[in-house]
Structures are given as C-alpha cells and as structure tokens.
Amino acid sequence: VAENETKSLSLGEIAQFAGALVKGDPEIRVVGVAPIETAGPDQLSFFTDARYRPLLEKCTAAALIVPPSFTDLEFPLLVCDRPYLAAVRVAKLFFESAAPSAGIDPAAHIEPGAEIGAHAWVGPLAHIGSGSRIGEGTCVHGTAYIGRNVSVGENCTVYPGAVILDGSRIGRRVIVHSGAVIGADGFGYVQDEAGRHEKIPQIGIVEIEDDVEIGANATIDRATFGRTLIRRGAKIDNLVMIAHNVEIGEDCIMAAQAGISGSSRLGSHVSLGGQVGIAGHLEIGDRVRLGAKSGVHASIRSDQDMAGIPAVPQGEWVKSYANIRRLSRMREELRQLKDRVQKIEEALNEP
Amino acid sequence: VAENETKSLSLGEIAQFAGALVKGDPEIRVVGVAPIETAGPDQLSFFTDARYRPLLEKCTAAALIVPPSFTDLEFPLLVCDRPYLAAVRVAKLFFESAAPSAGIDPAAHIEPGAEIGAHAWVGPLAHIGSGSRIGEGTCVHGTAYIGRNVSVGENCTVYPGAVILDGSRIGRRVIVHSGAVIGADGFGYVQDEAGRHEKIPQIGIVEIEDDVEIGANATIDRATFGRTLIRRGAKIDNLVMIAHNVEIGEDCIMAAQAGISGSSRLGSHVSLGGQVGIAGHLEIGDRVRLGAKSGVHASIRSDQDMAGIPAVPQGEWVKSYANIRRLSRMREELRQLKDRVQKIEEALNEP
Amino acid sequence: VAENETKSLSLGEIAQFAGALVKGDPEIRVVGVAPIETAGPDQLSFFTDARYRPLLEKCTAAALIVPPSFTDLEFPLLVCDRPYLAAVRVAKLFFESAAPSAGIDPAAHIEPGAEIGAHAWVGPLAHIGSGSRIGEGTCVHGTAYIGRNVSVGENCTVYPGAVILDGSRIGRRVIVHSGAVIGADGFGYVQDEAGRHEKIPQIGIVEIEDDVEIGANATIDRATFGRTLIRRGAKIDNLVMIAHNVEIGEDCIMAAQAGISGSSRLGSHVSLGGQVGIAGHLEIGDRVRLGAKSGVHASIRSDQDMAGIPAVPQGEWVKSYANIRRLSRMREELRQLKDRVQKIEEALNEP
C-alpha cells in the first residue's frame, strides 16, 4: 500500500486530468499526494481552509490544489472548484498503479468448475468453490474464501480472510474487507412444542450491487427465502451487522458497529452513525439521518434527522436532554413554590 | 445452498412426515418450500394469517400448509396445528439433503494425532490440530481452524474461517458460523506496581453443549480458570461477545452485537435484544427478556421484562420516556403556576 | 493451553521468584495455580478476602499465597504484599513453558523476500508477504495472514485467522487475537458532483507499539495519510473498532465492542467500558474513565469520570437518572399544587 514511487506526473498532466488551472510551472513533477503537514518537496498537497494558513509557513509541498479564493498563495497552484475531491482523485491516480499482477497463485485452491476471469488475481491459500465465477480484473487476496455458485463481478477486491458463502451475487467494483462474512445463515427460529428454538433453514442468498464497500468483520446474512439486498453505492463500515432479508438503498452510508434487524428496508442516501440499531420489519425513508447510538423502534418517513433511544427528531432529542439537565433546578423551584403556597394558605387560615 | 432440485416429495409423504391431513390429491409432488409471494408451481407454501389473503390470488404454489381455520382455501392443502413449524421442518427435509459428501479434502491440513470421525468432512485449507477429535457426520468447512485438544461432537457444522482454539469442548449438532472465534484469551489484567496492565494468563477453556448455534464473527472467550459455558440449545447471533467465565443457560437467545461481561450468569430461556450490554459478575434469572440496547448494571430476578440504560422494568421505562417527553409542558405549567402564586402574594400584600 | 504437567516448582523456588516468605515446608512441589474452589493437592492457590473463609474448609490446595494479614491459616503459605499479582505471575511461569517449538511449518506460505527471525514459529496455512520481517521468538499461528512490508517485533503472538495488512508496524510482545484485522482501509468518502460517495484512498498505515494486546475480531483501520497509532501497553478487547488516524495513549484499556471514530486521540491510562462510542476528531485527556455504553460527542479534560449518552460527569449522570425516576411523583406534586392554588384563587375571588 505504498505509493508507486517510480510514477511521477507533471502539474500540467494533473491539471488536465482534474479540470484545474495551473498557476506556476506546469512542468513540475510530483510522485504523490499528502496533507500540508507531511507533504514532501516531491508531493502535491491541498489547501481549503483559511484557519490553517499558519501551517503553510512550514509546508514543503511541491504544489497545492486550491479553490479560486486562494490564488494568492505563494506556491505553484492547481486551481479548481472542489479541491479536496480533486486531491482524492489525483491520489488514486498514484495509488491504483500499485495493484498486484494478474494470475492464480500456485498456492490458491480453485475447485473444478470455477471460472476465473481475465486479468483477475487469486492469492495464496485463497479458495474458490465450484460453480463460482470471478470477474475480469478482480483481486481475491490470499486466505479469502469464496464458496460455491458465487458470482463476483469485474474489478472487485476481496481482502485476506473475507468469506463469501454459497450462492452470493456480487456486482462490479465491490470491495469486501478482511474478515467480512457475506451469506452466513440468518438468525431465525421457531419454538417447538417444548419451547425449544428450532432452526428455520435459511435458503435465500445475499445480493450486492455495484460499487458497494463492506468493512472489516462486517456480517451480511443470507435471506430466509429470497435475498438480502445491498444496492448500488452503499458504504458499510467495520463490524456492521445486516440481518436476513434486509434491503439497503443506493448510496446509504453506515458507520461502524451499526446493526439492522431482519427484513427492515432502508431507502437511498440514508446515513447511520456508529452503533445505531434498527429493529426488524421497519421502513426507513430516503435521506434519513440517524445520530450515533440511536435506537430505532418504528418506521421513519423520508428526510428526517433523528437521534436517541428510542429515536426522535433531532430537535426534540436536544430539547429533552436540556430539560433533563434542568430537572434539579425544576425540583428546587417546585419545592420553593410549595413553601410559598403553604405560607399563603396559613395566612388565609389565620383568624 | 441451493435446494436439491432432483429431490421431490409427494403431499402424502409430506403429510405423513409432518402429521398433517391432505385435502386434495396426495400424489402431487413438490421440490421445495417458499413463501406465497415467490413459490412456483412445483413448490409448497404456507398460509397462516388472514390479512394476507389478497396475496393468494397471484399465488402459484402447488399446495399450501394451513391451520384448520383455513380449510376453505381453493388449493391442495396440508392441514395441521402449527403450519409454520411444519413448513420449516419440511423445508429442512429438502435442504439437508444438499450436505457435502464425507471425507478429508487433500488440501486440508490434519496434524498427526487428530481423529476424524466416520462420515465427517474436512474441507480444503482447513486445519485440525493434534489431539483433537471431530465427531461422526461433522462438517469442518474449508479455511476453518480447529486447534489442539479440541473435541467437536457429532453432526456439527463449522463454517469457513471459524476458529476454535485449543482445549475447547463442543457438543453435538452445534453450528459455528464463519469468523466466529471460540477460546480466545479472556480480557484480564492486574495493575503492577507502576500502574501498567499485567496480563492474567487465561488457562481455562470454553465448553459448548449440544444444539447451540454461534453467529458469524461472534467471540466466546476462554475462562481465566475453569470454563466459559454455553448450555444446550442457546442461540447466539452475529458479532455477540461472551467474556471469560460467563455461563449462558439453556435455550437462551441473544440477538446481534449483544455483549456479556466476565463471570455473569444467565439462566435458561433468557432473551436479549440487539446491542444489549450486561456488566460483569451479575446473575440474570430464567426467562428474563431484555429490550434492544438495554444496559444491565445489576442482577435481575427471573421472569422480568426490562429495558433502558440502566435497565428498569419495561413498564417503568415506557413511563419514564413518556414523562421526559412531557417535560417541556411541565416546565410551562410550573412557570404559569409561579405567576399565579406571585399574583396571589401581591394581592395579599396590598394594603 | 493445558499447563505443562511435567513442570513442577517447589514453594522455596516460587517464594524466591515472587519475593514471598514461606511459612511451612519449602520443599513442597506444585504443578500449577488454580482458584481455591478447584485447586487440587498438587496445585498452589491464593486467598485474599476474609468473606471467602468458608471455602477453605473444602480446599485441597497444596499451599496458599496470602497477604500478611492471613498468616494464621492452617496451610503451607507464601506470604507477600500483593498475593493476586504474585499468583498471576506464578501461573504464567507454568503456562509460558507450553509455547510451541520454533520453526516454519512446511504448510506455511512464505513469500520470497520475507524474513523470519530466530526461534520464531510460523504455523500451517499461515501466510507471510514479501518484504515483511517477523521478529525473534514471535509466533505466527496457522491461518494467520501477514501482508507485505509488515514488521512484527520480537516475542509477539499472532493467533489463527488474524490479519495484519500491508505496511503495518507492530512492536514487541504484542498479542493479536484470532480474527483481528489490522490495517483495513479507513472509512472515508467525499461526495461527488452527483451526490455519490467517492472513496478517499487510504494510504497511511497502522503502528502498534510494544506490549499491546488486540482482542479477537477487533478492527484497527489504516490512516488516510500518516498513521493510526496504538501506544505502548494499551489493551483492546474483542470486537473493538479503532478508526483511521486515531491515537490511543499508553496503558489505555478498552472493553469489548467499544468504538472510536476517525482522528480522535486518547491520552494515557484512559479506561473505556463495553460498547462505549466516541465521535471523531475529539481529544480525550489522560486517565479519563467512561462508563459502559457511554456516547462521547465532545472532548474531555483529563481525570474525568463520565457516563451517559451524551456523556456527562458520572455524578451528574447518577443525579439525572434519579431525577427521571422521580418524575411521576413530581407530576403528581405539580398537579396537587395547581389544585391548592386554584382553591386559594377561588377563596380570594369570593365576595
């Protein structure tokens, strides 16, 4: 994961790629991107916030990507409207060239009947089950496990120790981080006559669309019947739990350790803070945002910001906590008022 | 995990297995079970709730399992008292026939001195340590790791990437899902003279009784001394944490991301919602039910329903939250009352 | 993880090692340490709390480690100031002798260009990437994965199924438990012009200093730029999430399922209860203690004990909850007071 140090690009080339204007010598060459605090004289950096101007005094970067409001800076500049987004894209340019070469490592274990696409890579001690197809350019790292009848699309990355179980369908450009488990049984039981939990067989699958990222040690369970579905562009952080038959909408973003119970459905662009919990069989509308640690026990309409356990609109949550903090004073006021009423009553009762 | 499509059963055979009565042609054959929305003309389905009657109009299932109250339906029927439980058991009938064949994959790694029972399966890149015994009919999938001196009983399933560490004892028909870690060190330290944390060696074991299921990426730590114990029939969901020396009673059910701290003991049939936390050294009685996200700081007697942080009886929790939501109104009432008392005082003080 | 039963030590030898005085026969030999309830006649035990005196009647231990206040007990004794700490250290003495022998298992997969130190052990189906160095005496267990250009110091233990990704730097005597993932990508995106999440490349590393312990299935993400840093002596329990660019101070202790969001910094000796969550870009001072399940949304000065969501000083949290529980009574008092004021008003308005 080191930058490819032999690759260098000129400011002119980068400007063309990023749709930026060069202010300074377009022939200056850089070998990577770094923040202003650490960028060396052969690296590009970015500057977007006037508060950090003092950091520029010691900055040794070769050049800066800046918005039009900072064209006065005494550095070679690349000027564009969204400098941080441009910096990210330029960083990727250096970074992506470090991909492993294609092929199947001799220590990989490929079952007969598995198909590995062109330019794909399967690392040592990785396993691909029979009936599975690995797309072109996809990288299955060492010790990853792909079960049977799994399809993994093009240009995916499956990191070491990730497990994708039988029948899962993975789209294109999906990233599955180490230790993530896709397609374990959903958690479903029915009580038998004696009150014991009898397992409901989980015979559905997991389907993951294009451009999804699944964090390390996250778990996405297979459906009881049918499918658990993660739609295009959803980003799921480490240690998140997605239960059976859940549907996650396009471009949802779920921070670490959040959990969604069975059969709940999230709309698109939903944003979950860390450690959020959502009960089962709920509908969460588009663009709902849930503060960290909230607990959701009822469906939520679109475009709501919610927080708390149970989750309530963000404003109501803030007010409730302010009220709770005032409770001691309120009790004191109530006590004083009782005294005053007591005195009035005594005064009125005097002969 | 596809159903075995070559296996088909007649309604007559299924009725005999499930203790149901056939209404219609007992020679009709089906190849699997699915919900009414998706069941095809060669599949059995089930119907238990009058609210979903409209779904039957488009239902193409070959037959339905129903309770005695729905014998009017115009489908071939299997009538029995607990139709959903019957459907689950019939689904298993089709599902279980798809088990992998027995044997030891040539790419499995078995240390000398390990014993693999008859009809057991050890998959590619799986590891079995010396002194361990794998029971008859047990399936250790590829890339699973079984340490030394582990005993795994009959007819268990250990999924890819699961880790069962040295000395663990696993009963019969236990399911350990991918990424679960059984027998890692408990989290125990003692501060030394300089205030640094010195590790307490964790030399106990984990013991898991029959019919337990352990979810993906769950962790069950070994005891400091003695054993961490999961009793018969307990069901543990993904990403659950069970600390050292904990005891989980029979038929407990623990939803995802719950955590139990060291040395706490749960009675039988305890039910934990998602993300529940229980502090250490507590006793939780039989049939206690804890709402999702509750935090338990004190022992709980049997047969309590609790919720909240800290957990209180469910009814009290509901009332507290209702009271909190009324606080703004209560403050306003208090303010108005102060005004009224003020006016009374002024009136009384007038000459 | 069984004690090495061939190793025995005399009370005299143990006394010398632990700085204790022998009361009784210094030639008595023991083969291990166990609690008073389970210690056999060839084991040492420890006794530190007068409440448990009744347990001694049935205790069959060969000898007891005790503080100076218990020299009256009718057992062979080892007397010292910190008996539990001494017991732990003596237990280690028996325990550590059971380490696996050094070498590289023939079924390990070592890439060309990896360096394995003297007396190190690499287990079957473990992987060591090119450019990585494994220190002297370090034990990489079977199925563990070490990426490229990783350095692991001396006398570390990496358990089965642990994953340490490219470029990570691990100090000495570090323990990484099964399923832990070190160096997965941080969770960072920038929205593109269409509102989709574009991945920010994560090109930093993880650095872990000496004497750190990382729990099973914990995740420590690599930095966006720079490093995620775990300082000397920090102890991290199972299923903990440490996000990109976080810094954890020396001797911090973090219970299971806690999570720290990106770029937050913890001072030294910070203590986190289970399931604690800390938002991003915060500063947590030295010796801060956070109760289980707290949620931290703002920086905290040193030496504070905090609890709640959002976290407040422990005393304030206790008072808030007491106040909430009094709310029903307070409502009733307010109602009664209104009645009294009403009556006063009526009395005053009477002609």
pLDDT of B223-268, one tens digit each?
A: 998 899 999 999 999 999 999 999 999 999 999 999 999 999 999 9
What is residue C218's predicted lDDT score, i.e. its pLDDT? 98
CB-nearest partner of A292 from C167, C217, C277: C277
CA atoms within 13 A on the CB side of B113: 8
Q: Encoding tokens for residue C163?
A: 């994953």
pLDDT at A262 over 70: yes
CB-nearest partner of B334 from A147, A259, A334: A334
Residue ranges of E strands in B105-170: 109-110, 115-116, 121-122, 127-128, 133-134, 139-140, 145-146, 151-152, 157-158, 163-164, 169-170
Q: What is the DSSP string of B162-193?
A: -EE-TT-EE-SS-EE-TT-EEEEPP--EEE-T
Q: Which amino acid is at C164?
A: I
B237 reaches A (C-beta below 8 A):
yes
Give the dihedral sign, CA B173/B174/B177/B182. Answer: negative
Contact B311, B294 (CB under 8 A): yes
Q: Encoding tokens for residue A240?
A: 């998140």
CA distance B17 to chain C (A): 42
Which residue in B151, B200, B203 has the most chain C C-beta atoms within 10 A of its own C-beta, making it the best mutation to test that interface?
B203
pLDDT at A5 over 60: no
pLDDT at B40 over 50: yes
Residue C142 CB partners (closer than 8 Å, separation 6+): B109, B127, B145, C105, C107, C108, C123, C124, C125, C126, C160
Q: Which amino acid is at B186?
A: G
Cβ burial, residue A323 (10 Å; 0-12/13-18/19+): middle
Sheet containing B63-66: order of strands: B21-23, B77-79, B63-66, B44-46
Q: Encoding tokens for residue A171?
A: 């789209």
C1 reaches B (C-beta below 8 A):
yes
Residues of chain B contacting residue C344, judged by C-beta atoms under 8 Å apart = 344
pLDDT at C120 over 90: yes
At C181-231, the pLDDT tens digits run 999 999 999 888 788 999 998 989 999 999 999 999 999 999 998 899 999
Of C40, C25, C114, nearest to C77 (Cα)?
A: C25
What is residue B99's predicted lDDT score, i.e. its pLDDT? 55
Share of chain C above pLDDT 70, in %: 96
Query: What value does the mean pLDDT take over residues B323-337?
Result: 93
The span from the CA of C167 to the CA of A49, in Å, is 31
Residues of chain B contacting residue C328, judged by C-beta atoms under 8 Å apart = 319, 323
CB-nearest partner of B295 from C251, C253, C292: C292
Work out the mean pLDDT of chain B and round it to a whole number: 93
CA distance A192 to chain C (A): 33
Q: Which of C119, C244, C281, C297 is catalytic?
A: C244
- Judge: B88–A201 Cβ closer than 8 Å, yes or no: yes
Share of chain B above pLDDT 90, in %: 82
Residue C100 pLDDT level (bands cut at 50, 70, 90): low
- Judge: C221–A238 Cβ closer than 8 Å, yes or no: yes
CA distance C264 to chain A (A): 14
What is residue A2's predicted lDDT score, i.e. its pLDDT? 41
Query: What value does the mean pLDDT take over residues A103-131?
Result: 96
Which residue in A187, A239, A327 has the most chain B C-beta atoms within 10 A of its own C-beta, making it the best mutation to test that interface?
A187
- Judge: A222–B1 Cβ closer than 8 Å, yes or no: yes
Q: Encoding tokens for residue C327?
A: 């709310």
At A7-19, the pLDDT tens digits run 889 999 999 999 9
Residues of chain B contacting residue A181, judged by C-beta atoms under 8 Å apart = 161, 177-179, 216-217, 238
**pLDDT greater at residue B43 or residue C5:** B43
CB-nearest partner of A85 from C127, C166, C190: C190
| Chains in contact with C, where contact requires at least 3 CB pairs less than 8 Å apart | A, B
Strands C295-296 and C289-290: unpaired
pLDDT at A100 over 70: no
A166 reaches B (C-beta below 8 A):
yes
- The Cα diameter of chain C in Å comes to 106
B259 reaches C (C-beta below 8 A):
yes
3-state secondary structure chain A: CCCCCCCCEEHHHHHHHHCCEEECCCCCEECCECCCCCCCCCCEEECCCHHHHHHHHHCCCCEEEECHHHCCCCCCEEECCCHHHHHHHHHHHHHHHHCCCCEECCCCEECCCCEECCCCEECCCCEECCCCEECCCCEECCCCEECCCCEECCCCEECCCCEECCCCEECCCCEECCCCEECCCCCCEEECCCCCEEECCCCCEEEECCCCEECCCCEECCCCCCEEEECCCCEECCCCEECCCCEECCCCEECCCCEECCCCEECCCCEECCCCEECCCCEECCCCEECCCCEECCCECCCCEEECCCCEEHHHHHHHHHHHHCHHHHHHHHHHHHHHHHHHHHHHHCC
What is residue A6's predicted lDDT score, i.e. its pLDDT? 61
Q: Encoding tokens for residue C192?
A: 């593109």
B73 reaches C (C-beta below 8 A):
no
CA distance B211 to chain C (A): 24
A238 reaches C (C-beta below 8 A):
yes
Query: What value does the mean pLDDT take over residues A56-78?
Result: 94
| Chains in contact with B, where contact requires at least 3 CB pairs less than 8 Å apart | A, C
C261 reaches A (C-beta below 8 A):
yes
Contact B24, B77 (CB under 8 A): yes
Residues of chain B contacting residue C235, judged by C-beta atoms under 8 Å apart = 187, 189, 197
- Judge: A217–C219 Cβ closer than 8 Å, yes or no: yes
Residues of chain C contacting residue B147, judged by C-beta atoms under 8 Å apart = 160
Surface of B (129-158) touching C: CB under 8 A? 143, 145, 147, 149
Neighbours of C100 (CB within 10 A): 12
Q: Which residue of A has its CA nearest to C190?
A: A85
Q: Which of A127, A244, A269, A297 is catalytic?
A: A244
Q: Which amino acid is at A187?
A: F
C347 reaches A (C-beta below 8 A):
yes
What is residue A99's predicted lDDT score, i.e. its pLDDT? 55
The span from the CA of C33 to the CA of C147, in Å, is 38
3 state DSSP class of C321: helix
Residues of chain A contacting residue C125, judged by C-beta atoms under 8 Å apart = 125, 143
Active site residue C244: yes
Q: Specify the range with the lowest mean pLDDT, choosing from A184-198, B125-139, B217-231, C84-98.
A: C84-98
Share of chain A above pLDDT 70, in %: 96
- Judge: B225–C34 Cβ closer than 8 Å, yes or no: yes
Contact A117, A138 (CB under 8 A): yes
Of C297, C287, C214, C286, nearest to C256 (Cα)?
A: C214
pLDDT at A1 over 80: no
pLDDT at C26 over 50: yes
**pLDDT greater at residue B96 or residue B266:** B266
Surface of A (84-123) touching B: CB under 8 A? 109, 111
Residues of chain C contacting residue A235, judged by C-beta atoms under 8 Å apart = 187, 189, 197
Which residue in B150, B181, B341 has the most chain C C-beta atoms within 10 A of its own C-beta, making it the best mutation to test that interface?
B181
Known catalytic residues of B are 244
Model ipTM value: 0.89
- Judge: C235–B309 Cβ closer than 8 Å, yes or no: no
A201 reaches B (C-beta below 8 A):
yes
Q: Specify the range with the lowest mean pLDDT, choosing from B135-139, C2-6, C333-337.
A: C2-6
| Chains in contact with A, where contact requires at least 3 CB pairs less than 8 Å apart | B, C
Phi then psi dihedrals of residue A303, to 5 deg:
65, 25
Q: Which residue of B has its CA nearest to A194?
A: B251
